[in-house]
Amino acid sequence: MLESIQIKNFAIIAALDLELDRGLTALTGETGAGKSILLDAIKLVAGDRADRDTVKTGQDKAEISVCFNVASHNEVLTWLQDNELGSDEECIIRRVVHANGRSKAFINGQSATLAQLKDLSQLLVDLHGQHEHQSLQKPLTQQLMLDTYLDEQALIEDVKQKFSHWKKVEQNLHQIRNGSIEREQRIDLLRLYCKELEELNLADGEVQNLQSEYKRLSHAGQLLDQVGTLLDILYDNEENTLQSLLSYCEQSLATQVNYDTTLETSHDLINNALIQVQEATNELRNYQQSIDLDPARLDWLNQRIATTQDLARKHRIDSDSLPDLFQKLKLELNSLCGSEQDLEETERELEQVRASYLASATQLSQKRQRTAGSLSAQITEVMQELGMKGGQFSIQVDELDAETSFRQSGINTISYQVSANPGQPLKPMNKVASGGELSRISLAIQVILCEASCIPTLIFDEVDSGIGGGIAEVVGKKLRWLGENRQILCVTHLPQVASQAHQHLRVEKTRSIDDTTTSVIALNEDERLEEIARMLGGLTITDQTRAHASEMIAG
């Protein structure tokens, strides 16, 4: 149940702190007083998109906070727990809209997304608008209303998922069948590519090794000459070699160290240098012996590198990526070569998912047909109470035979048909019902759906428009009856409806030179009598209108 609403700087509401009770609460006031602003605020915390124009002029932000008592609402408690937003008894939803258009949402003090607000609010509040009878003429709305009363969400979702699976498999089969020519052409091309890459047989990392070996062999003569020169300088030259000079220096210092130990460091360094020269000489000799002047090997390397580069340019990739490309193309080739088998498997799969979809869709259709009969009878009964004596209402549920007509909503077409007067045949409601009749039919449907709903708070925004007199009194009594077991908020201009309320709120607009504000006042018994009298008598309230108002409230 909605226990309280706090609003600050929203539209023309500067500040509002409203406590609400169970039962039927009527919101009344002059036209343009701002009754719908309160509902707009509730819609905002229910996940509607924010608009910077909702922030009161001159203010930085607007804030709306609503508090629900959810102690006995297990479905809401489960949702809160699943989303780690749990609360034992209260659920507080808060929405902040800044003047730049940005907004933030909170559930029980924690940040929340608009999707979460919408999911949660659908369990807490059900809002019925004054123009609902217009959308009631749309086939999609008619189906959704029937399914709401049906209360088979798991089956409806199952049909939807199986339809999506069936369409996906059907599209896959279509692609396989229509891609035969392109597939064969692709297979031929892939076989050519794979043959070239297989003959190349390039290993991972081989490109870099080939380039290193080619560079060494192509400069082998230069390398041998230079190494020979270095060996002469280091060791081989019979005259002053670097090794003989270092050896002389080492021996000389070894003798002098006997006289001055401070020369030990210099002696050690030169001795180490001599060792390094000897090791370098050995390394250069080994390298000299390893170099092989092999023109045939050089030609082979040149040809292999050229072939590798040509294939890399052909496929517009780096040479190093050719082994990975080979594996990728082989997988694609194997996949395409197995497509004939895929065709047969996909055809079998399509038949299986089609049969599964039809089984669930047929089950849903049967439930819809049974429910449509019961719901039609109940709506017809309420229509009689709303002044449409002899009128009939019927929900036609037809099954679609053609596979091309299958839908994610099932295999049905839903049509609401009505006979507004005795003796008239049933026809689609948008062709035979007047505006006033549509309003009453819409209200009858909403009353029945609300009876079946487990949502604790229902909001009616001028759904009684287009009716009056004794019918308005029946509507008021119906809403009061609904309010016996749940919370009903009703924006109304009709005294017959407002007089049935358990709680009465008046919306007032106050104008000053600089500002316009809206306030909501909870009326006591005397104030309520005056408000009903105003709704009955207009600007001039007489003792007679007060007496009439008192009679309506008492009755």
Residue 10 burial (C-beta neighbours within 10 Å; 0-12, 13-18, 19+): buried
Percent of the chain with pLDDT over 70: 94
373 in Cβ contact with 417 (< 8 Å): no
Where do we find the tokens 């030259």?
237
Mean pLDDT of 426-454: 73
pLDDT per residue over 471-495, tens digit each? 888 888 888 888 888 899 988 888 9
Res 369: pLDDT: 93
- Whether residue 341 has pLDDT greater than 70: no
Res 132: pLDDT: 54
Instruction: Please tell me the distance from the alpha carbon of residue 281 to that of residue 279, in angstroms, as a whole number.
Output: 5
- Whether residue 363 has pLDDT greater than 90: yes
Instruction: Please tell me the distance from the alpha carbon of residue 419 to that of residue 393, in angstroms, as a whole number.
Output: 7
- Whether residue 337 has pLDDT greater than 80: no
**Non-local CB neighbours of 33 within 8 Å, separated by 6+ positions:** 507, 508, 509, 518
Mean pLDDT score across all residues of the chain: 85
Instruction: Please tell me the distance from the alpha carbon of residue 496 to that of residue 490, in angstroms, as a whole number.
Output: 12
Highest mean pLDDT among 9-13, 72-76, 359-363: 359-363
Instruction: Please tell me the distance from the alpha carbon of residue 267 to that of residue 222, in angstroms, as a whole number.
Output: 37
Mean pLDDT of 411-434: 81
Mean pLDDT of 245-255: 89
Res 14: pLDDT: 87
Which has the higher per-residue pLDDT, 505 or 344? 505
pLDDT-wise least confident of 115-129, 175-189, 235-249, 524-538: 175-189
pLDDT per residue over 132-169, tens digit each? 555 667 787 788 888 888 888 899 999 999 999 999 99
Element (H, E) at 188: helix 180-200
Instruction: Please tell me the distance from the alpha carbon of residue 130 to that of residue 114, in angstroms, as a whole number.
Output: 25
Percent of the chain with pLDDT over 90: 24
Res 512: pLDDT: 78
State the pLDDT confidence band at 90, using cuts at 50, 70 and 90.
Answer: confident
pLDDT-wise least confident of 356-360, 402-406, 435-439: 435-439
State the pLDDT confidence band at 181, using cuts at 50, 70 and 90.
Answer: low
Which has the higher per-residue pLDDT, 386 or 430? 386
Burial 406-423 (b: 16+ CB within 10 A, else e): beebbbbbbbbbbbbeee
Which has the higher per-residue pLDDT, 420 or 132? 420
Which has the higher per-residue pLDDT, 422 or 60? 60
Res 340: pLDDT: 61
Res 435: pLDDT: 64
Res 129: pLDDT: 67
Instruction: Please tell me the distance from the alpha carbon of residue 21 to that of residue 46, in angstroms, as a whole number.
Output: 20
- Whether residue 81 has pLDDT greater than 80: yes
**Nearest Cα residue to 102 out of 41, 44, 50:** 50
Q: What is the pTM of this model?
A: 0.59
322 in Cβ contact with 190 (< 8 Å): no
Instruction: Please tell me the distance from the alpha carbon of residue 493 to that of residue 28, in angstroms, as a whole number.
Output: 6
Instruction: Please tell me the distance from the alpha carbon of residue 347 to that of residue 343, in angstroms, as a whole number.
Output: 6
**Non-local CB neighbours of 1 within 8 Å, separated by 6+ positions:** 20, 22, 68, 69, 456, 457, 486, 487
* Domain 1-128+462-523: assigned CATH number: 3.40.50.300
Res 223: pLDDT: 86
Which has the higher per-residue pLDDT, 433 or 373? 373
- Whether residue 183 has pLDDT greater than 90: no
Res 67: pLDDT: 93
Where do we find the tokens 């560079």?
215
pLDDT per residue over 13-22, tens digit each? 888 898 998 8
Rg, Å, the chain Cα set: 44
State the pLDDT confidence band at 525, using cuts at 50, 70 and 90.
Answer: very high
Mean pLDDT of 247-269: 90
- The residues spanned by each domain of the chain are 1-128+462-523, 184-337
457 in Cβ contact with 125 (< 8 Å): yes
Amino acid (1-letter code) at residue 301? L
Q: How far is CA 303 from CA 210, 214, 306, in A?
A: 11, 11, 5
Mean pLDDT of 57-63: 90
**What is the DSSP secondary-structure string of 401-443?**
-SGGG-BTTBSEEEEEEEE-STTPPPEEHHHH--HHHHHHHHH
Instruction: Please tell me the distance from the alpha carbon of residue 238 to that of residue 166, in angstroms, as a whole number.
Output: 92
Mean pLDDT of 115-120: 90
pLDDT per residue over 278-316, tens digit each? 999 899 888 888 877 778 888 888 888 888 889 989 999
Mean pLDDT of 243-268: 89
